[in-house]
């Protein structure tokens, strides 16, 4: 019944939803600003974004230097031609924004025309920089053009591998530095209660910012204190929010979004205006409106159901995908452990030929996983001639259906 569309407590409004939705319920400012609601996954981090120091197993073809690097490099990817791991590390540190480690001769990373021709719908240009620029949101361009005098410390930025996330995504180091800065992928989460890592302070002016509802509330409170979104200045807002790591660039772009968001709905819906001016009588209003309302409500209900369903399935799918990867990682780890053991065994053994135990059957419960074939190739890379089975290393590998 449409008449009972109210928000009274009869509907068993869950208390948690209540407090987060209606600021009428008194909460101290303190509580609001410092209340953590998010799991670690949203935070900049130690857990979230792994800096280059974290070793990531990467593809390794037979290394001339032997087993010490055993497939590890500092968070970057080794190209097929790469021969020594020390060269890897060096090129990581000296290149401005490397994506992959390349041997010196491939330092120039503008994409060769023949590989890219016709692959993209953009107007023909081989340079990634100009293409990437068109994709940037407005806030990024704003950050480029702001002249507030908060220049980041370029040398620290470029020289310090700890600050610069080596997992960054820009393929061409040749493009304009300012643009590189913006697209540095180090995620930066700002919250008044978060502790900022010291070396990131000079970079934060250009980092991507990830807002939270709490931080936004602080922003809105500041705006209101300053007399509204039209009167408030970014500098004042920044000061009021007083969140370490938040920069004026962030505030500026957020303010612009905020103004736009408030302006738009007021064009279409003015809750102050008296509604239903055009209909003649109350009776007409009631009868006509009721039917249409019901239909519209029904349609909305259906739409909502479909959306809910999609979301539910997305969450399920995501969980599954994570599990799959987690399982894969575990197996990979097991296999590598096994491999290490075998290396040690080989070193320890006196005879030239080492017998290859069935590594995959003992360490991998399912021998048909691709992990097994990875193991074989790594093993055969370590000792030159022995190959466990006739598995081809090329493209003809087939995945066997798992029951």
Taking CB under 8 A as the criterion, which residues in 83-122 touch other proteins? 99-100, 102, 106, 109, 111-112, 115, 119-120
Footprint of other proteins on 327-346 (CB under 8 A) = 327-329, 332
3-state helix vs strand vs coil in the chain, percent to 5: 50, 5, 50
Selected binder of other proteins within 310, 341, 353, 389 (CB under 8 A): 310
Q: Is 263 in the site for other proteins (CB under 8 A)?
A: no
Q: Is 1 in the site for other proteins (CB under 8 A)?
A: yes
Q: Is 354 in the site for other proteins (CB under 8 A)?
A: no
Footprint of other proteins on 360-399 (CB under 8 A) = 366, 368-371, 374, 377, 393-395, 397, 399
Whole-Å CA distances, 326 to 47, 54, 329: 15, 17, 5
CA distance 213 to 217: 6
Q: Which residues of 276-307 are buried (b: 16+ CB within 10 A; e: fewer)?
A: eeeeeeeeeeeeeeeeeeeeeeeeeeeeeeee
Residue count at the site for other proteins (CB under 8 A)?
A: 132
Q: Is 298 in the site for other proteins (CB under 8 A)?
A: yes
CA distance 349 to 391: 26
CA distance 321 to 329: 12
Q: Which C-beta is closer to other proteins: that of 14 or that of 348? A: 14
CA distance 339 to 359: 8
In 3D space, the residue among 193, 156, 181 whose CA is nearest the CA of residue 34 turns out to be: 193
Selected binder of other proteins within 67, 77, 221, 380 (CB under 8 A): 77
CA distance 346 to 337: 14
Helices and strands (H and E) in the chain: how many: 14, 6
x/- mask, other proteins, residues 163-182, rule CB under 8 A, reads ----xxxxx-----------
Residue 121: count of CB within 10 angstroms of its CB? 5
Q: Which C-beta is closer to other proteins: that of 31 or that of 402? A: 402
Q: Which C-beta is closer to other proteins: that of 309 or that of 345? A: 309
Q: Is 46 in the site for other proteins (CB under 8 A)?
A: no
Residues whose CB falls within 8 Å of the CB of residue 340, separated by 6 or more in sequence, listed in order: 70
Q: Is 318 in the site for other proteins (CB under 8 A)?
A: yes
Span interacting with other proteins, options 148-156, 193-201, 255-263, 353-361, rule CB under 8 A: 255-263
Q: Is 228 in the site for other proteins (CB under 8 A)?
A: no
CB of 337 to other proteins, least distance (A): 16
Footprint of other proteins on 184-213 (CB under 8 A) = 185, 187, 208-213
CB of 138 to other proteins, least distance (A): 9
Helix (H, G, I), strand (E, B) or coil at 257: helix
Helix (H, G, I), strand (E, B) or coil at 288: helix
């Amino acid at each position: 019944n449409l008449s009972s569309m109210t928000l009274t407590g009869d509907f068993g409004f869950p208390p948690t939803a209540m407090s987060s939705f209606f600021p009428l319920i008194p909460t101290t400012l303190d509580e609001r600003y410092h209340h953590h609601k998010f799991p670690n996954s949203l935070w900049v981090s130690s857990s979230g974004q792994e800096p280059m120091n974290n070793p990531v197993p990467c593809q390794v073809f037979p290394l001339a230097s032997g087993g010490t690097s055993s497939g590890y490099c500092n968070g970057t990817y080794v190209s097929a031609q790469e021969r020594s791991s020390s060269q890897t590390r060096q090129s990581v540190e000296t290149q401005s924004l490397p994506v992959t480690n390349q041997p010196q001769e491939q330092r120039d990373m503008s994409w060769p025309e023949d590989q890219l021709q016709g692959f993209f719908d953009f107007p023909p240009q081989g340079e990634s920089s100009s293409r990437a620029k068109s994709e940037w949101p407005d806030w990024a361009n704003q950050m480029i053009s702001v002249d507030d005098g908060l220049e980041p410390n370029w040398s620290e930025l470029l020289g310090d591998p700890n600050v610069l996330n080596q997992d960054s995504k820009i393929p061409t180091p040749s493009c304009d530095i300012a643009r590189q800065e913006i697209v540095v992928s180090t995620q930066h989460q700002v919250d008044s209660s978060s502790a900022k890592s010291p070396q990131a302070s000079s970079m934060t002016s250009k980092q991507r910012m990830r807002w939270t509802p709490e931080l936004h509330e602080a922003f809105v409170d500041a705006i209101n204190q300053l007399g509204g979104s039209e009167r408030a200045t970014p500098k004042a807002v920044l000061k009021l929010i007083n969140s370490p790591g938040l920069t004026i660039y962030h505030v500026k772009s957020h303010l612009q979004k905020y103004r736009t968001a408030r302006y738009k709905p007021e064009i279409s819906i003015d809750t102050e205006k008296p509604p239903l001016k055009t209909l003649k009588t109350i009776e007409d209003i009631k009868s006509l409106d009721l039917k249409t309302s019901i239909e519209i409500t029904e349609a909305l209900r259906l739409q909502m159901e479909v959306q809910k369903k999609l979301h539910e399935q997305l969450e399920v799918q995501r969980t599954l995908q994570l599990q799959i990867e987690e399982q894969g990682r575990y197996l990979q780890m097991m296999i590598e452990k096994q491999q290490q053991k075998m290396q040690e065994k080989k070193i320890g053994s006196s005879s030239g030929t080492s017998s290859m135990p069935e590594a995959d059957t003992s360490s991998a419960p399912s021998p048909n996983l691709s992990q097994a074939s990875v193991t074989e190739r790594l093993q055969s890379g370590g000792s030159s001639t022995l190959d466990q089975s006739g598995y081809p290393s090329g493209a003809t590998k087939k995945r066997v259906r798992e029951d």
